[in-house]
Amino acid sequence: MPADDDGYADRRKPTEEAATVAKTVNEVMTHDPRTVETTANLVDVAVQMRDGDVGAVVVVEEGRARGIVTDRDLVVRSMASGRDPHATPVGSLCSKNLVTVTPDQSIDDVIKLIREHNIRRVPVVQDGRPVGILSIGDLAMEVDEHSALADLSAAPPNN
């Protein structure tokens, strides 16, 4: 067995193609993200997530991005703290220190922001209005479509 062969014939080695990342957010983002108004209750938000098969929605006020809420937020910040999901507006729960990017930003910029802010999803805005969302799964699929994270991100939903 050659010195660099560890016996796993199927293990993929980085190639120039795998290392090539799309130049802009627009090339990788999910377009037309699910949005909810700040006044929507948490049950309505959960229904939007289920129906759209998404784990996050952008919270908007008068069409402008104001926050983001994830399925984890619904459980940890709401249900576990005893809030009434029918009476709690999502605006009181969503992440408000919103980090956003624009469609023309580089993927390298986004990766730096994700690391710096320890986030998994970034709303993509144009003139303050949400036009997309970018997740670490989207980035993983772009960098190496055969990575474990890319496989998980591409898997069909289990609902």
* Residue-by-residue pLDDT tens, the chain, 159 positions: 455 444 444 444 444 444 445 589 999 999 999 999 999 999 999 999 999 999 999 999 999 999 999 999 999 988 888 889 999 999 999 877 899 999 999 999 999 999 999 999 999 999 999 999 999 988 887 765 554 444 444 444 444
The strands making up 30-31's β-sheet, listed across from edge to edge, are 30-31, 129-135, 121-126
Residue 103 confidence (pLDDT): 98
Residue 39 confidence (pLDDT): 98
Q: Which residue spans within the chain are E strands per DSSP?
A: 30-31, 35-37, 56-61, 64-70, 121-126, 129-135
**Stated pTM of the model:** 0.76
d(Cα 26, Cα 30) in Å, to the nearest integer?
A: 8
- Residue 105, number of CB atoms within 10 A of its CB: 18
Residue 105 confidence (pLDDT): 97
Residue 95 confidence (pLDDT): 77
52-92 pLDDT tens trace? 999 999 999 999 999 999 999 999 988 888 889 999 999 99
Domain 18-154 of CATH type 3.10.580.10: yes
Residue 15 confidence (pLDDT): 42
Q: Is 101 helix (H, G, I), strand (E, B) or coil?
A: strand
